[in-house]
Every structure is written in C-alpha cells, then in structure tokens.
Amino acid sequence: MAEKIKLSVVMASMNEENAITVMVAEIRKHTKEFDTEILIVDSSTDKTAEIASSLGVTVIKQPPQGHGLALRAAIQAASHDIVITADCDNTYPMDFIPLLLGKIIKDKYDIVSCNRLTRNLGKEMPAMNFFGNWLFAFLVRILYGLNVHDVTTGMFAMKKEVAKAIDWETNYSFPCELILRSNRNGFRHIEVDIPYRTRIGEVTLNKWRSGKAYIRCILKYRFNIKINPRYL
C-alpha cells in the first residue's frame, strides 16, 4: 500500500469558538485519505483554544499581533511537507483540499492560491471588500504581470520549502507577499477558483489598516521601497 500523503492544515484564529468545531469537522471529512495534522496559532480571549484542543487540534498560543504573523507562525510550525492554509471562520471550502493537493503533487506546482472573486460570488463578501480586493489584484496584474485575481485570499496550498526559502516581512498583507515573493523567487504558482461562504462569527479584521498595508506591499516589492514592517 502506498504511503499516505502527509498534510498540515494550518490557521490563525481569534475568537472563533462558534466556528472551530465546524472547521475541524470539515477538514477531517475531506482529508480522510491523507495523514493530516490540524494546527492553529490562537490569540483568542474566548474558548477557541480549549475547544480546538479537545478536538485534537494542535494549538499554539500567541498574543494578538496580527493575522499575518499568526499565520506565518502556523506555517513554520507545520510538521508536514505540504501545507494548506485557511481562515478559521468556515468561509473557505475544505472540499477543495484534494484538488489543491493534486496541483502540488500531480501538476508539480510549488504554491497554489485560491481566487474567491469569481462570477458566482454574491453577498458572501460586502461590496466595499470586493472592490478593495479586486483593486489590489488589478494592481498586481498591471505592475507585476501576474495572472492573479485575488491577492488577499486566505487559502493556499504550498510545499513547506516555499515557506522556508523566503524571509517573510509582512503581517497584514501577508497573502499578497506570499504570491509576489514566491513568484519572484522562481516557485511555480497557479491560482484556482473557489466558492466563498459567509463567515461564522464576528469580523475581527481591521479593513482600513489591512487595505493600506496591501497598497504598501504591492508598491514595496515592485519599486524596492523601504517601508517599516510594522505598516505591512
């Protein structure tokens, strides 16, 4: 019998006690064929960490420092050679995990990013968020020549070597940096369309701070601008 594919599904979490049980169930449902660990880096003040631990999830506690720093820590702590990232709010489709793994294993891509901004997207994403996300991807297509349509996505599949090869710098704009710098470093990247769902629980993202960070990130790596990492 062939050895099972070893997979780490990692997430940053902050006050997701209403979603964590659903997330863990969805991940396990769609990764039965794989040797899968689930890991979260948690900055919650609610019972997210306790619930996750009771479900067999590896929990790393971290003071609130931003979603990107938490996700970077989660990726680095992953035990296996293929890593899937997601948000801990049930917005991303865990049934797409086998497809993403196929892009890595069969099609030999190093990193796969997931595009939420499809024609099927409706009220799951507020109009202002959609416009901002569309604008960031448009700027990346124009300035970098990359065929991407969502650079703020939270769902990726990647080989662990991608995470190890680059000294990551950003926090609030980390998904964009993942796409830009993995491409610049010669890793094979592809984007796939996914459906997107309405989140479970309250929004914790500061969209204004995040939006400014994405603009700075896009300009920084295109024009080699020195920007204090605290603003990224």
pLDDT tens for 77-104 read 999 999 999 999 999 999 999 999 999 9
132 lies in some domain: yes
Residue 39, both tokens:
């890991």
Please give the average per-residue pLDDT across 1-22, as a whole number: 90
- Checking if the pLDDT of 1 tops 90, the result is no
User: Which pLDDT value is given to residue 204?
Assistant: 66
pTM: 0.95
Q: Which domain holds residue 135?
A: 6-231
Measured CA to CA in angstroms, residue 130 lies from 51, 55, 80, 122, 201 at distances of 32, 34, 33, 10, 19
Please give the average per-residue pLDDT across 135-145, as a whole number: 98
Please give the average per-residue pLDDT across 106-119, as a whole number: 97
Q: Quick one: how many helices (H) and strands (E) in the chain?
A: 8, 7
56 lies in some domain: yes
CATH code for the domain of 78: 3.90.550.10
189 lies in some domain: yes
- Checking if the pLDDT of 203 tops 80, the result is no
Number of structural domains the chain divides into: 1
